[in-house]
Structure 1
Amino acid sequence: MTGTADQTAAPTPATPRGALNRRGPFRAGERVQLTDERGRMNTVTLAADGEFHSHRGVLSHGELIGRPEGTVVENSAGFRYQALRPLLKDFVLSMPRGAAVVYPKDAGQIVTMADIFPGARVVEAGVGSGALSISLLRAVGDQGHLHSFERRAEFADIARGNVETMFGGPHPAWRITIGDLAQELGQYEQPGSVDRVVLDMLAPWECLDAVATALAPGGVVMCYVATVTQLSRTAEAMRADGRFTEPDASETMVRGWHVEGLAVRPDHRMVAHTGFLLSARRLADGSERLAPKRRASKSEYSQEDLDAWTPVALGERDVSDKKLRRAGREALGLAERAARATGPAGAGVSDPGAQDPASAGPGGAAAAAPVPGEEQEDRP
């Protein structure tokens, strides 16, 4: 199935998209993170008549609406909560999802190492739940352009809802197309017109020809892959293509530290391997890749190797259509509330329901139903 959901917009507002719902007092429709005295966090969506229930009592949302960020409030049983707007890293870990998200540590590396700059023309493949799309949109800004390709309409609905929740409405720089990047990129982007390409997909080597055609000389392609077999095959495909520089591979690990008085030590838990990053740059047409000479090594792939790169073999969970539809309804419902929270300033950019029916999930635009549950405990 192929379709296009263009995020058409009115003239770009003077205030950058997303700034309005990051400032000022709390408003109904906003997502707020409540942290108790033991450091446990819950994220709620404020409503005029809403309540946050726990085994330790009830907290009325009215205690927060109109109050400044950083307020400490007590619930009916006298337990205190610290209320703050979720940071991007918090939002990503608590938002509705249908696919695994790109963790903040990797998203930060992608934005930096791929040199995503304000005003850049960026293409993304594999939208998933929209975590990386949010980081890319923040980097390109309102004057940039992010064209995201996603094969599954259900994932596109979830991503759209999460993006609109974060920015308080449709982002003027975002366009999402339902389809295969390898087949459709050339229909939408002119040769040599794209500055950066980010591939978060199972088989990025299948898209390298389309990517090389669309990238401008000097442009960057960044691939996010989960396993060493994917990493190896993608790197060899880049070398074989001949239009890219020598690929550079890395992974990022983050280890927190416990700091309390003289008790200073590494945390017992850390976010270790989540994925590999592989990047290269587009050479000018007719130029030859310069690379250090190496001794010949095995570069052919057997059928057994190819079978190892199936989604099941890589440990991907089979997400049911019912779960995807539920996550899509939740994400789009949160987006509607976020748009209302920003008021007239956030409502004039675009109609959240004005999207291509071909790109909508089974529920279409009507899928933006009430959110199944307002309260959600943050999860890694």
Structure 2
Amino acid sequence: MSATGADLRRGPFAEGERVQLTDAKGRLHTITLAPGKQFHTHRGYLQHDDLIGAPDGSTVTNTAGFEYLALRPLLADYVMSMPRGAAVVYPKDAGQIVTMADIFPGAVVVEAGVGSGALSMSLLRAVGETGRVHSFERREDFADIARANARAYFGEDHPAWTVTVGDLVEALPEHVEPGTVDRVVLDMLAPWDCLEVVGRALAPGGVLICYVATATQLSKVAEAMRDAGEWTEPSAWESLVRGWHLEGLAVRPQHRMHGHTGFLITTRRLAPGVTPPLRKRRPGKGYEGSEDADGTTTETIPGATAEEWTPEAIGERVPSDKRVRKVRRSVTG
């Protein structure tokens, strides 16, 4: 028995497959093959039937004599061109998450939130049929779009994937037993709110990795990890990818690049009752302590309240409800 989706990655092009066409100027077009259909541009059209049954890596010529290279889209290509409601985790970050969080075959992984499903597909390919990916998403419309995108990519519903619509803090204890999760990936506005429930779910030594957009989020989640006293010292970074122009002697960096998309911060769950080693550096002065009514001290970023942690407040582009409804209808039928 082949792995889920493997049959769609090899062999001749078949009806219903997505194919990536590249023209002579390097412009990309993604089409879904259907008998009798045509792909039109302002420079003629080509028949889908000319591609159905052709081997991967073929060329096809349209009615105006323009040639296209036809290839199956790689996962990185697919997630950048698939229908989306929420913004996707870029392939450069998804690759870092899979590697640096050590997502292994057979692993039990918890993911929140799902967005459009880009990261979910990378996690599913990493854990395979013997693993489990429990994904949590607050918005049902985003969850529907993610399911449809993954189904289109794998050709079926992946047997290792469960998508739950709801809040992670409330829903996670209902779906996993304490200490049974190997890895947790949080892509959300306020991951520090989930540290307690995630800590109970993770096995000792388990990895938590968070994807956040701004330095203020990064600082707050790092301090929350330290204050909790049950995590290793967090490590944070970002990755910048710059392509190179390769043509004759004109070998130079491209003018455009994938710059900042988000920060990654990772830590590991300590064994129960273990106290982390005392840090030998002085804490930063960016946090102020405030005493609650019960006498406990809460650390906050000066000038930041809970209500300010919204996508708009951190500069994210928020898709309109109308656009999300349109995408949802297009992928779910």
Alignment TM-score, normalising by the size of structure 1: 0.82
% same residue:
64
Partner of 1:138: 125
Cα distance in 2 for residues equivalent to 1:296 and 1:109: 28
Contact (CA 8 Å) 1:229, 1:309: kept in 2 or not? no
Cα distance in 1 for residues equivalent to 2:47 and 2:66: 13
Contact (CA 8 Å) 1:246, 1:291: kept in 2 or not? no
Contact (CA 8 Å) 2:21, 2:69: kept in 1 or not? yes
Aligned match for 1:216, one of 203, 226, 236: 203
Cα distance in 2 for residues equivalent to 1:292 and 1:262: 52
Partner of 1:347: none
User: What is the CA distance between 1:290 and its match in structure 2?
Assistant: 1.9
Aligned match for 1:259, one of 219, 227, 246: 246
User: What is the CA distance between 1:303 and its match in structure 2?
Assistant: 5.9
Partner of 1:168: 155
1:260-299 alignment to 2 at 5 Å?
260-298=247-285, 299=287
| SS state at 2:103 partner | coil
- Return the letter of the residue paired with 2:212: V
Partner of 2:327: 327
Partner of 1:200: 187
| SS state at 1:43 partner | strand
Partner of 1:233: 220
- Return the letter of the residue paired with 2:15: A
Q: Output the aligned Cα RMSD.
A: 1.1
| SS state at 1:253 partner | coil
Contact (CA 8 Å) 2:86, 2:318: kept in 1 or not? no
Partner of 2:296: none
- Aligned CA distance change for structure 1 residues 39 and 212 (closer, same or farther; 3 Å): same
1:49-60 alignment to 2 at 5 Å?
49-60=36-47
Partner of 1:108: 95
Greater shift, 141-150 or 254-263, is seen at 254-263
Question: What CA deviation, in whole Å up to 9, does each residue of 1:77-133 have, x standing for no partner?
Answer: 000000001011110110000011000000000000000000000000010000000
Partner of 1:309: 309
Contact (CA 8 Å) 2:220, 2:301: kept in 1 or not? no
- Aligned CA distance change for structure 1 residues 291 and 33 (closer, same or farther; 3 Å): farther
Q: Does residue 180 of the first structure (1) align with residue 167 of the second (2)?
A: yes
- Aligned CA distance change for structure 1 residues 131 and 188 (closer, same or farther; 3 Å): same
User: What is the CA distance between 1:135 and its match in structure 2?
Assistant: 0.2
List gaps (5 residues or longer) in structure 2.
Answer: 289-299
Cα distance in 2 for residues equivalent to 1:315 and 1:162: 26
Contact (CA 8 Å) 1:70, 1:82: kept in 2 or not? yes
Partner of 2:108: 121
User: What is the CA distance between 1:50 and its match in structure 2?
Assistant: 0.9
- Aligned CA distance change for structure 1 residues 295 and 80 (closer, same or farther; 3 Å): same
Q: Greater relative contact order (Cα 8 A, min sep 6): structure 1 or 2?
A: 1
Aligned match for 2:145, one of 158, 162, 169: 158
Cα distance in 2 for residues equivalent to 1:59 and 1:71: 14
1:21-40 alignment to 2 at 5 Å?
21-40=8-27
- Aligned CA distance change for structure 1 residues 166 and 247 (closer, same or farther; 3 Å): same
Cα distance in 2 for residues equivalent to 1:66 and 1:108: 32
User: What is the CA distance between 1:318 and its match in structure 2?
Assistant: 3.4
Cα distance in 1 for residues equivalent to 2:199 and 2:273: 13
User: What is the CA distance between 1:310 and its match in structure 2?
Assistant: 2.4
Partner of 1:96: 83
Q: Post-superposition, which runs of at least 4 consecutive aligned residues in structure 1 deviate over 6 A?
A: none
- Return the letter of the residue paired with 1:78: G
Alignment TM-score, normalising by the size of structure 2: 0.94
